[in-house]
Amino acid sequence: LAEWSREPFIAASPSRWELAPTARIRSTIGLTLRYFPRWVSQRGKIHPLETGDRLWGLALSLPLTAFLVVFFVLPLLFVVVFAFGGYDATYRPTGRFHLQYFADVWSSAIGTLFLRTAYVASGATLLSFVLSYPAAYYVAQLPRERREFFVMLLIIPFWTSFLLRTYALRTIFDSDGLANAILQALSLSQEPVFDTGNLASVIWAETYTFMPFMALPLYANLEKLNRAMLEASYVLGAGRLRTFLRIVLPLSMPGVLAGGLLVFIIAMGELVIPLLVGGVEGQFLVGNAIYERSGQQPGQASALGLLFMVVVFGIAYVYVRVVGRGGIRF
Amino acid sequence: LKLGHAVLAGYVAVFFVALYTPIGVLTVLSFNAGRSATDWEGFSTRWFESVVSDVRYTAPFWNSIVIGILTTLLAVVLGTLAGIAIARRPPGRLSFAWDALILMPLVIPEIIEALSIQLFYKVAGIPNGVLATVIGHTVFAVSFVALIVRARMGDLGKAYEEASMILGAGRIQTFVRVLIPLAAPAIIAGAFLAFAASWDDVVKSQFTTSLDSRTLPLVVFAAAAKGRISPLLNALAVVMVVISLSAAVMRTVAERRIGRT
């Protein structure tokens, strides 16, 4: 393409028509393709010689863009159309829109559903923050070689199945699981202490499973922490606690923000962990409600899904605005 | 000051041990000779033998492998092309849109993605099965590949490409002989990530597999959700963990090579 579009410049305009027909067609195509992208975007800003380069870049990214538009963006639009009744439960277009599906899900204790899910998700977010912050802080101040090893230890659980990590938790903390068996063997307690199948076990399992999502951004941030700041704080007479609260924590807020957002969003939509350890009570969460309706009631599932997206990204937006802008001070 | 540091170090030790204990316990229990998931009755590999000889587990195993490999191939091709393309763009509105498009599959809750692709398949008349699952997995797997390749190529800059073209290579030749080899460690790391993501997936698979294309996680999930805990299930879980762990380790190795070159 680059070669084609170069031709007309060698053969100056008047003599272009004296070229052989094929060469003339080639140069016309070349010229069109060459100036077209410049014409559609940011007129005049790009040097003409870069347009071939731009076309090449577009060509390279076209397959993925097309793939994601067809199999990701388009399906998401279907959720919107289904939610407003554009298709019925037999997947046929209805040709009209209505709000019946929203009314259906609205009447089914939706407030409790969302509050409970938000409660579980924020519980898991807070716990994973509290539990992983010391670890991230400790690893970040190790010498480089040992740091790499610990970072690998943090990353590997990230890539082991969440399903299996949750399942493994259950073999330990079930009422007839290992933890209770050990307590009994040590005759510390004859009654089972641990049990799964309730809301608390969902929070703990999500905390455990999503911990890497919190620990890694925290670590990435704390690693860049300027040690001189700490020295300065100590020299100026602040104690360890004060230094932590006034210097370390505020400086690591971007990491806290990123990790918190990740864990919260993932925990809001989780449905596998509640199904495994939630019992009857713990399964009454938004993700599970969407899942239950997805087979027979695609319209209601889509309406719920749309509300869910609005709520999650609404919370995320407010959170980024408030915390990210320094709305919360320590 | 010393005491505080010791407490912190102790906590960190507990933290990392706790991170790995459940999987370790699972592995030990899968070698239990007895039926119980908690009482140790001697060492045995009988559960692994039943796993590898029972078609109820071998068929899903091969389904998972096939889906994982096809997903990896598709994600690597699409993600590498786009990753290289995005890295060589100056920042602007279009590259921001691409970034958003590539990050979105990782940010949107998976249940929404799974629901949306189910609606799309049903309306478009695409039947559930291996191909449907591969496409579903590729949507998120491709993001990993594209992001890693983009980061790698962004670090390198355009100098290699320009040198190659000045020395007379065409665009395609430059792409195949200069850009792809430069991106290779990132592509390999991305490939293992893509495979691991596909191998572990539950939700998308649940929505897109047919009865005879069920994957291994779905078998574990179905049994575990019914409340059954058995050494057999443990053995199955260990097989899964071993494969995803090897993918994770190989990815780390590949990523270290990026650091070195």
The answer to whether residue A180 scores a pLDDT higher than 70 is yes
- Please list every residue in chain A whose beta carbon sits closer than 8 Å to the beta carbon of residue B239: none
Rounded to a whole number, what is the distance in angstroms from the first to the last CA of chain B?
41
Query: What pLDDT digit, counting tens, does each position of B150-202 carry?
Result: 888 887 877 888 888 888 888 888 888 888 888 888 899 899 989 999 998 99
Assess contact for A323 and A129: CB atoms under 8 A: no
Give yes or no for residue A31 having a pLDDT over 70. no
pTM: 0.82
**What pLDDT, on a 0 to 100 scale, did the predictor assign at position A178?**
78
A40: contact with B, CB 8 A cutoff:
no
Q: What is the pLDDT of residue B136?
A: 95
Most confident of A57-61, B155-159, B252-256: A57-61
Whether pLDDT at A199 is above 80: yes
- pLDDT of amino acid A11: 41
Instruction: Answer whether A168 sits within 8 Å of B25, measured CB to CB.
Output: yes
A–B: how many Cβ contacts below 8 A? 233
Looking at residue A48, what DSSP letter applies?
A: G
Contact state of B203 with A271 under an 8 Å Cβ cutoff: yes
* pLDDT band at residue A130 using 50, 70 and 90 as cut-offs: very high
Beta bridge partners of B32: B43
A chain contacts of residue B109, beta-carbon cutoff 8 Å: 265-266, 268-269, 287, 308-309, 312
Residue entry with tokens 């053995």: B235
Residue carrying structure tokens 């004296």 = A18
Tell which wins on pLDDT, A98 or B92: A98
pLDDT tens per residue, range B9-40: 999 999 999 888 888 888 888 887 777 666 77
**B82, A79: Cβ pair inside 8 Å?**
no
Helix, strand, coil percentages for chain B (3-state, nearest 5): 80, 0, 20
Chain B CB within 8 Å of residue A280 CB? no
Higher pLDDT, A108 or B183: B183
* DSSP 3-state of B32: strand
Residue A155 contacts B where some CB pair is shorter than 8 Å: yes
Report the alpha-carbon distance of residue A322 to residue B174 in Å, rounded.
48
H-only helix segments in B108-170: 110-124, 130-156, 159-166
Place of tokens 């991305």: B190
Contact B119 A91 (CB under 8 A): yes
Helices (H), B30-54: 46-53
Residue A58 DSSP SS3: helix
User: Looking at residues A8-21, what average pLDDT do you find?
Assistant: 49
**Half-sphere exposure (Cβ direction) of B124: Cα atoms closer than 13 Å:** 15
- Name which of B16, B85, B135 is nearest A57 (Cβ-Cβ): B85
Q: How far is CA B56 from CA A94, B164, B260, in A?
A: 41, 54, 44
Amino acid at B85: A
Structure-model confidence comparison of residues B5 and A41, the more confident one: B5
Residues of B in contact with A177 (CB under 8 A): 37-38, 229
For residues A239 and A208, the model is more confident at A208
Contact with chain B for residue A91, Cβ under 8 A: yes
Phi, psi of A87 (to 5 degrees): -130, 150
Q: How far is B135 from chain A (nearest CA, A)?
A: 8
Q: Pick from B1, B98, B252: which is nearest to A61 by CB? A: B98
> Measured between CB atoms, does A135 come within 8 Å of chain B?
yes
d(CA B75, CA B82): 10
State the pLDDT at residue A36: 52
Residue with the bigger pLDDT between B259 and A190: it is A190
What pLDDT is attached to residue B25?
86
Pick from A156, A171, A287: CB nearest B26: A171
> How confident is the model over B85-101, as pLDDT tens digits?
888 777 777 777 888 88
Helix axes B55-87, A51-68, angle to 10 degrees: 150
Is A311 a residue whose pLDDT tops 70?
Answer: yes
Minimal CA separation from B120 to chain A, in Å: 5
Hey, are the CB atoms on B38 and A181 less than 8 Å from each other? yes
Asked if residue B241 has pLDDT above 90, the reply is no
Residue found under tokens 């009209």: A96
Number of Cβ within 10 Å of residue B40's Cβ equals: 12
Smallest CA-to-CA distance from A170 within B57, B39, B234, B235 is with B234
Residue among B85, B110, B193 minimizing CB distance to A269? B110
Mutate to test the interface with A, among B123, B164, B245 (most CBs of A within 10 A): B123
| B41-89 pLDDT per residue, tens | 778 888 888 888 888 889 999 999 999 999 999 999 999 999 988 887 7
The mean pLDDT value of chain A amounts to: 80
ipTM, two decimals? 0.89
Of A117, A309, A127, A137, the C-alpha closest to A210 is: A127
The greatest distance separating any two alpha carbons of chain A, rounded to the nearest whole angstrom, comes to 102
State how far residue A43 is from chain B, nearest Cα, in angstroms.
14
Contact residues, chain A, for B170 at CB < 8 Å: 2
> Which of A286, A314, A297, A300 has the alpha carbon at shortest distance from A98?
A300
Picking from A155, A163, A301, the nearest residue to B217 by CB comes out as: A163
A57·B207 Cβ contact <8 A: no
The torsion of the CA quartet B17, A171, A277, B138, rounded to 10 degrees, works out to: 70
d(CA B223, CA B216): 11
Tokens of A115: 């509050």
A105-119, A272-286, B221-235, range with the lowest pLDDT: B221-235
